[in-house]
Amino acid sequence: MQLLERFRARFAAPAAIYGAPGRVNLIGEHTDYNDGFVLPAAIEFYCWVACAPRTDRKLVIHSENFSETVEGNLDSLSAARKNHWGNYPLGVAWALQNSGKRLNGANLLIGGEVPLGSGLSSSAALEVAVGFALLHQSGLHVDRTELARLCQKAENEFVGAHVGIMDQFVACHGRPSHALLLDCRSLEHKLVKLPPVIQLVICNTMVKHELASGEYNRRRAECEEGVRTLRRVLPEIQALRDVTLGRLEEHRALLDATVYRRCHHVITENNRVKSAMRAFECGDNRALRTLMRESHRSLRDDYEVSCKELDLMVEIASAQPGVIGARMTGGGFGGCTVNLVEATAVEAFKQNVATRYLAKIGLSPEIYVSPAAAGVRQIDVSSSNFGQR
């Protein structure tokens, strides 16, 4: 096991290995901060953490991705430089300790295979893997939902990124062959079985347009404005999650035209998530195709978070044989699309999509293929299928 050998070379000790997955959201975009529903699956791209205890109160953390080491003292944890990767693992230790868990000092070696910053949630994979490792090495335990919450808290309050809980939740609760229907308000969740012949194929447009974070904040504000306005006539609502399509149409005249379209996206998208769950449950691929297409259209036209590269990638993918559904995934303005593809069609899909996208945009897309994967766990390093990592 190579990560173990490299840990031994660096820290002169044996270690245990932990892994937490990245994720892709199949449907339910921009619904999380509206208290709505999402349907992500964990993917077989993991953040690996080799970890062993120390006798003092230090954390010494080396990331192979950055070829850099950060250190922290468990009794006085504070954020490293702004935007520094070290804030993620140190923030997790901070959140765990603030929740009353007294951790042991530890050495950690991090090797991440989730592409960084591509919308596949390398950050949550890192947080959850580190949190799980530190707890285990300290002889402590929290349940998986609590671990997800604490990792989200670390990212919100220590790293300073205002993310929802979806990424951490699925990194904790992912299950092979399943997606996860998550109610972002109650955190109730349900496993949704994916057909064994389906592969999750993620196409990276290789672009990230500048406006992403400013527009994200603007969309959040527009949704809040929608709720404020609708609450004048629907005092019982807390979030767009509580508004039916019928009610929205009834009170359409009260809303600014743009705010109406934003609300329309969120409300119809929540409905699509629940329909997609039912379509998976009864194997209705035609319904899935329509739902993913409608989700993409709604994100493009009502929510206005797509871009020409995402639209083209979806258009090319949708025309390929063996494709059950295709749409943009993540916040938008670049990043990735998610495609449900029959396993036998995946190789041709990859080649055709890459060739056509390159011809039109001039960039070679990265294409990642994965079955739905398991959530965070300790790895049995003696098992043969881990030998190559």
Q: Which residues bind Mg ion (CB under 5 A)?
A: 121, 123
Q: CB-wise, 128 or 255, nearer to ligand ADP?
A: 128
372 binds ligand ADP (CB under 6 A): no
Q: CB-wise, 87 or 137, nearer to ligand ADP?
A: 87
Q: Select the residue interacting with ligand ADP from 37, 85, 260, 333 (CB under 6 A).
A: 85
Residues with Cβ within 8 Å of 334's Cβ and at least 6 positions away in sequence, in order, are 205, 207, 208, 209, 212, 307, 309, 310
Choose the one of Mg ion, ligand ADP, none that binds residue 60, judging by a C-beta under 5 to 8 angstroms depending on kind: none
If DSSP codes are grouped into helix, strand and coil, which group holds residue 82? coil
CA 295 to chain centre: 17
Choose the one of Mg ion, ligand ADP, none that binds residue 340, judging by a C-beta under 5 to 8 angstroms depending on kind: none
Choose the one of ligand ADP, Mg ion, none that binds residue 88, judging by a C-beta under 5 to 8 angstroms depending on kind: ligand ADP
47 binds ligand ADP (CB under 6 A): yes
Q: CB-wise, 123 or 329, nearer to Mg ion?
A: 123
Q: CB-wise, 112 or 226, nearer to ligand ADP?
A: 112
Choose the one of Mg ion, ligand ADP, none that binds residue 79, judging by a C-beta under 5 to 8 angstroms depending on kind: none
Exposed/middle/buried for residue 286 (C-beta within 10 Å: 0-12, 13-18, 19+): exposed
93 binds ligand ADP (CB under 6 A): no
Compute the least distance from the CB of residue 23 to ligand ADP, in Å: 9
Compute the least distance from the CB of residue 122 to ligand ADP, in Å: 3
Q: CB-wise, 16 or 346, nearer to ligand ADP?
A: 16
Single out the catalytic residue among 32, 75, 143, 167: 167
- Of 324, 307, 326, 306, nearest to 316 by C-alpha is 326
Q: How far apart are the first and last CA of the chain?
A: 6
Choose the one of Mg ion, ligand ADP, none that binds residue 63, judging by a C-beta under 5 to 8 angstroms depending on kind: ligand ADP
**Count of residues in contact with ligand ADP, rule CB under 6 A:** 17
Q: What angle do CA 300, 301, 302 make, to 5 degrees?
A: 110
Cα dihedral angle (234, 236, 238, 241), rounded to 10 degrees? -70
**Contacts for 145-153: CB closer than 8 Å, 24+ residues apart:** 145/169, 145/172, 145/173, 145/187, 146/99, 147/172, 147/376, 148/172, 148/173, 150/92, 150/95, 150/96, 150/99, 151/92, 151/95, 151/124, 151/127, 153/95
Q: Select the residue interacting with ligand ADP from 10, 60, 65, 183 (CB under 6 A).
A: 65
Compute the least distance from the CB of residue 312 to ligand ADP, in Å: 22
Q: Does residue 167 carry a catalytic annotation?
A: yes
Residue 300 CA to residue 225 CA, distance in Å, equals 20
Compute the least distance from the CB of residue 30 to Mg ion, in Å: 15
Q: CB-wise, 119 or 334, nearer to ligand ADP?
A: 119
Compute the least distance from the CB of residue 348 to ligand ADP, in Å: 28
Reading the block at residue 81, the tokens are 């430089």
Residue 294: other Cβ atoms inside 10 A: 17
310 binds ligand ADP (CB under 6 A): no
- Of 101, 343, 68, nearest to 88 by C-alpha is 68
CA 191 to chain centre: 16
**What is the pattern of x (binds ligand ADP, CB under 6 A) and - over residues 103-142?**
-------x-x---xxxxxxxx--x----------------
Q: Select the residue interacting with ligand ADP from 31, 63, 199, 270 (CB under 6 A).
A: 63
Compute the least distance from the CB of residue 250 to ligand ADP, in Å: 38
Compute the least distance from the CB of residue 13 to Mg ion, in Å: 31
Distances (CA, A) of 169 to 37, 40, 67, 164, 188: 13, 10, 28, 10, 11
Strand partners, 199: 341
Which residues are near ligand ADP by CB under 6 A?
A: 47, 63, 65-66, 85, 88, 110, 112, 116-123, 126
- Give me the active site residues, please: 167
